Structure 1
Amino acid sequence: MKDEEVTMGWGKTHDWLAHRTAVTPDSTALIEAGDGTEWTYADVDSSVEETAGKLAGLGLRSGDHLGVLMETRLASVLLVHAAMRLGCVLVPLNVRLAVPELRRQVEHTDLSVLACEAETETTARDISGTVPVVSVDVSTDTTLSECERTEFDPMVWSRDDPQVMLFTSGTTGNPKAVVLTMGNLLASATASAFRLGVLPGDRWHLCLSTYHMGGLAPLLRSTLYGTTVVLESGGGFVPEETLTNVRTYDATGISLVPTMLRRLLDADDSDGASRLDSLRFVLLGGAPARKELIDKCETCGVPVCPTYGMTETASQIATARPEEAFEHRGTVGRSLMFTDVTVIDDSGSPVQAGESGELVVAGPTVMAGYYGNRDATEDAFGEYGLYTGDIGYRDDTGRLWVLNRRSDRIVTGGENVHPGEVVTVLRDHPAIRDVAVVGIEDEEWGERIGALVVPMADETVSLESVRAYCDGRLAGYKQPRLLEATDELPRTPSGTIDREAVRERLRYDS
């Protein structure tokens, strides 16, 4: 047999759901936490086939870009799988963003269709421009269920085919669409399984939004593994509901950001057994986990797995198992299978164990690039792989320790915010002459957004007026929570903003 034939035989595949359904059609694929409705893989596959046919009726074809402006629910799950069946690139959009932010993302990603729900339809039509909008709910215009179904040829995927585009704030504040291939997502799911393990009865409780990698990854991985997703719908995080659902449906795994985990532990104050006792792992990412939170997990018997990852690597780069997390507070564990992490100094040379430097990542999970931004893609890669912009070190046992996040980025409640976005909006405020924005350490949110402002002459600026001005211009989580006025911003000898001095001023005044 020729090498070319061997490559074609092993290098091509249909969508994961189709293969999974052929292997275990009667296994439970999904449970809707609201009413306990169970869906087998055959059930989901049938609905996905119908959904894909409706999308094909709208003209969607392989290679087209399908935008989705929805919270996590059954209909959005079907769209994820339908996009893969058609061969469309899925572009999930964050429903929490302001209209101007979403409009820029729609313009940047060359969408062919934008799918929405009743709650987001007005916004979808506002941001869509010339892009057709279709709602999964009853609509006054185009409703997906009413679209004519068209026959289509299922996509035959190769590992290099783009499958998902997810936005990341990056290091410049400009929106960047990370292109993840089918191979990236497959490698990530495989490596995660090697670290966390997979059991036949596993149930991954999904309460993160699928417009973040932390919410999308469990949905795709569970399909590959043949395990069950417990779907918590509706948007918003209610700790008491999540605790009840974890207990009711015997969830064995869950992905959370530190703020969510802290709230769960605070709410789980029953006199009897913890409502989290069915869990065998809590994958904790999105922001650094404080020592106090890890301490509480150990005390409460919660199997926390601190992880370090990024959208550009399809989620996890390194993950610590619970025993490692408890014994070595602060580590994110060793890098995952097939992922190489190099620590480099300012000259780009690798450093020895114990020495800190920038973390650079290489391996099959690393993105194909930033969509429509060749310069940013080229700048992101070097001799040893993808520059993360994060500073850390590897100890002499190979464990990774992340010391600082990217230079200016703020992580609040698991959401990434670049100060430049906030500064741009606040500088347009009629009463503000200049402003500096930084993250201030916060026990509840990880960081709060703080703004030090220089008012215009004879003007007074309040936090309330600034937040009111930001409504409709910035997502709520990007708006300042702390604000102080000053006559002049602190600067370094070179004239740049002295960010640490800004933080000290805001900490002192708060």
Structure 2
Amino acid sequence: MRDLLATRARASPDATALVDDASGREWTYADLNATVETTAGRLAALGVTRGDHVGVLMETRPAFVRLVFALQRLGATLVPLNARLAPQELHTQRERANLALLVCDADTEADALAAADAVPVATVDDPDDPNVLALDERDLDDVEPAEWAHEDTLALLYTSGTTGDPKPVTLTLGNVVAAAGASAFTLGVLPDDRWLLCLSMYHMGGLSIPLRCALYGTTCVLQRGFDAEATVRALDEHDCTGVSVVPTMLDRLLRADADLPDSLRFVLTGGAPTPRDLVAACEDAGIPIHPSYGMTEATSQIATARPAEAFANPETVGRPLFGTTVTVVDDEGDPVPPGETGELCVSGPTVTPGYYDAPDANAAAFGPHGLHTGDVGYRDTDGRLCVLNRRSDRIITGGENVDPGRVAEVIRSHPAVRDVAVVGVDDPDWGERVAALVVPEEGHEIDRSTLEAHWEDRLAGFAQPRTVAVVDSLPRTASGTVDRDAARERVVATADL
């Protein structure tokens, strides 16, 4: 097939493809296809050709969307880079991905230059540095649209790096198409759907939205960065039917305005576990929350719970999506029965063929049951999936294994607790001790005796936290997951219970 946008533009030329919330400008699929053709011609004039790896360093904006589809038109591979990284981190990722070109904007030009070395840098804005090429000033080369097979690499996306150095994940056209189909079978698709994009496009959760909209023929409404009040307005003003957020973003939306517009069909939460009280708040407000579990290596969603399922079982992320198999295995790699905790392995057409240029990592990551996710969880007797924590987060205290997700689940069930992170900290006698960083509900105070009474009959003695710190919020990474190193430092520095 041709690239996704060209295929869609032939089928639905007059449908609205993209809306820029900042400017109010709209593009039909025919309009967007024409601008992408121009961008592709300018990239070709810079020497970009089939198979090249091209880095994009910028926050979410229409130019990013155009680059995504222009690189597809040329048969090149998109490599989104996190615009929040330090230059040295960008340098390492640029080098590892073997970039032929790095495209930036005015906000990221200095970082792009610092990371580029001999790799040419182009900007979608007016350059400040004479060594940076102005993409819009290039003459157009003729473009012969590339043909795509399902096994061709569409993008290299870096993992979040929560368990080590970020690795570039190979994602194919087939991965993207399968993920879009599986998601549609769960969320549904209607001709007038409008999906708000307020996530960063250098993460899979953000990048997936314009890709899926092109496949569905629906509208992507683009917001240039998340702001709770502005996002509530955008959802209402553009009659959005869907939005993807991490749980902390949804919590801020509800605090800004619990009455989100009635046009919403789905609010997809992921990137971190969705707290039980947030699910309950959505039920009270009539918000169609869809808690999900996913990862870059599976092209975003692995499992998703629909609202009724989430409201009845607030700890679950639902069942695996169509075509996806999740197997829970023990430390020896053998499947365990329902209710028993183990590592989650995932297989199916959405799963990456492997990390780029990393044979050792691939040999360790894949096994008889598919990709070892490094996540710990269990399936209940009805097949619903519950995700607890990373396998590497496991705490070993006095020779006993403690899954911090189980401990956090118990603490979070206390009505005065809004959120919690459970980590292991060094202990001279036991190797590690269990520590908890607790965020209280507004207007509530927490004391140790109350917490101890709550977990006394719910947790084994060795799993009960020995150190507790009360904080206003949990430290998080850019993708919304708890920053465990920062949490560990904070709980040691501020423990007061």
The TM-score with structure 2 as length reference comes to 0.81
Residues 74 and 143 in structure 2, CA contact (< 8 A), matched pair in contact too: yes
**What is residue 63 of structure 1 aligned with on the other side?**
51
Q: Does 1:335 align with 2:320?
A: yes
Partners of 2:391 and 2:494 lie apart in 1 by 21
Mapping of residues 81-480 of structure 1, within 5 Å? 81-140=69-128, 141=130, 142-170=133-161, 172-233=163-224, 235=225, 237-268=226-257, 274-408=259-393, 440=437, 442=439, 480=486
Residues 260 and 287 in structure 2, CA contact (< 8 A), matched pair in contact too: no
Q: 1:386 to 1:249 in 2, by over 3 A?
A: same
Partners of 2:85 and 2:439 lie apart in 1 by 22
Partners of 1:297 and 1:100 lie apart in 2 by 41
Residues 318 and 335 in structure 1, CA contact (< 8 A), matched pair in contact too: yes
**What is residue 433 of structure 1 aligned with on the other side?**
none
Q: 1:172 to 1:240 in 2, by over 3 A?
A: closer
Q: Deviation per CA, 1:106-161: give whole Å up to 9, x if none.
A: 11100000000001101111100111000000114311000121112111001111
Q: 1:100 to 1:443 in 2, by over 3 A?
A: farther
Residues 171 and 406 in structure 1, CA contact (< 8 A), matched pair in contact too: no
Deviation for aligned residue 1:175: 2.3
Bigger mean CA offset, 350-359 vs 237-246? 350-359
Deviation for aligned residue 1:169: 3.5
Partners of 1:441 and 1:100 lie apart in 2 by 34
Deviation for aligned residue 1:443: 6.7
Q: Secondary structure at the match of 2:331?
A: coil
Deviation for aligned residue 1:440: 4.0
Residues 328 and 335 in structure 2, CA contact (< 8 A), matched pair in contact too: yes
Q: 1:441 to 1:49 in 2, by over 3 A?
A: farther
Q: Deviation per CA, 1:309-337: give whole Å up to 9, x if none.
A: 00000000000001100011110000001
**What is residue 460 of structure 2 aligned with on the other side?**
none
Deviation for aligned residue 1:275: 3.3
Q: 1:478 to 1:95 in 2, by over 3 A?
A: farther
Residues 343 and 392 in structure 1, CA contact (< 8 A), matched pair in contact too: yes
Residues 319 and 334 in structure 1, CA contact (< 8 A), matched pair in contact too: yes
Partners of 1:478 and 1:350 lie apart in 2 by 28
Deviation for aligned residue 1:173: 1.0
Deviation for aligned residue 1:408: 3.2
Read off the aligned partner of 1:396 and give its amino acid letter. Answer: T
Q: Deviation per CA, 1:80-127: give whole Å up to 9, x if none.
A: 010111111100000111111111101110000000000110111110
Residues 276 and 302 in structure 1, CA contact (< 8 A), matched pair in contact too: no
Q: Deviation per CA, 1:1-21: give whole Å up to 9, x if none.
A: xxxxxxxxxxxx110101100
Residues 56 and 150 in structure 1, CA contact (< 8 A), matched pair in contact too: yes
Deviation for aligned residue 1:363: 0.4
Q: Deviation per CA, 1:399-449: give whole Å up to 9, x if none.
A: 1111223423999xxxxxxx9xxxxxxxxxxxxxxxx9x9945579xxxxx
Q: Secondary structure at the match of 2:107?
A: helix
Partners of 1:177 and 1:341 lie apart in 2 by 23
Q: Deviation per CA, 1:199-221: give whole Å up to 9, x if none.
A: 01100000001000010011100
Read off the aligned partner of 1:292 and give its amino acid letter. Answer: D
Partners of 1:442 and 1:179 lie apart in 2 by 37
Read off the aligned partner of 1:254 and give its amino acid letter. Answer: V
Q: Secondary structure at the match of 1:52?
A: helix
Partners of 1:360 and 1:266 lie apart in 2 by 36
Read off the aligned partner of 2:385 and give its amino acid letter. Answer: L
Contiguous gaps of at least 5 residues in structure 2: 395-403, 406-422, 424-432, 442-482
Residues 358 and 392 in structure 1, CA contact (< 8 A), matched pair in contact too: yes
Residues 244 and 275 in structure 1, CA contact (< 8 A), matched pair in contact too: no
Deviation for aligned residue 1:508: 2.5
Q: 1:108 to 1:71 in 2, by over 3 A?
A: same
The TM-score with structure 1 as length reference comes to 0.79
Q: Secondary structure at the match of 2:35?
A: helix
Q: Does 1:16 align with 2:4?
A: yes
Alignment length, in residue pairs?
420
Question: Higher relative CO (CA 8 A, sep ≥ 6), structure 1 or 2?
Answer: 1
Bigger mean CA offset, 170-179 vs 121-130? 170-179
Partners of 1:283 and 1:96 lie apart in 2 by 24
Residues 341 and 376 in structure 2, CA contact (< 8 A), matched pair in contact too: yes
Partners of 2:109 and 2:287 lie apart in 1 by 39
Partners of 2:161 and 2:212 lie apart in 1 by 25
Read off the aligned partner of 1:160 and give its amino acid letter. Answer: E
Partners of 2:493 and 2:334 lie apart in 1 by 37
Q: Does 1:34 align with 2:22?
A: yes
Residues 171 and 408 in structure 1, CA contact (< 8 A), matched pair in contact too: no
Partners of 1:42 and 1:308 lie apart in 2 by 34
Q: 1:44 to 1:368 in 2, by over 3 A?
A: same
Q: Secondary structure at the match of 1:158?
A: coil
Partners of 1:82 and 1:483 lie apart in 2 by 44
Read off the aligned partner of 1:62 and give its amino acid letter. Answer: R
Partners of 1:441 and 1:318 lie apart in 2 by 27
Partners of 2:112 and 2:391 lie apart in 1 by 32
Deviation for aligned residue 1:170: 4.5
Partners of 1:395 and 1:69 lie apart in 2 by 42
Identity %: 54
Partners of 2:119 and 2:336 lie apart in 1 by 49
Residues 163 and 392 in structure 2, CA contact (< 8 A), matched pair in contact too: no
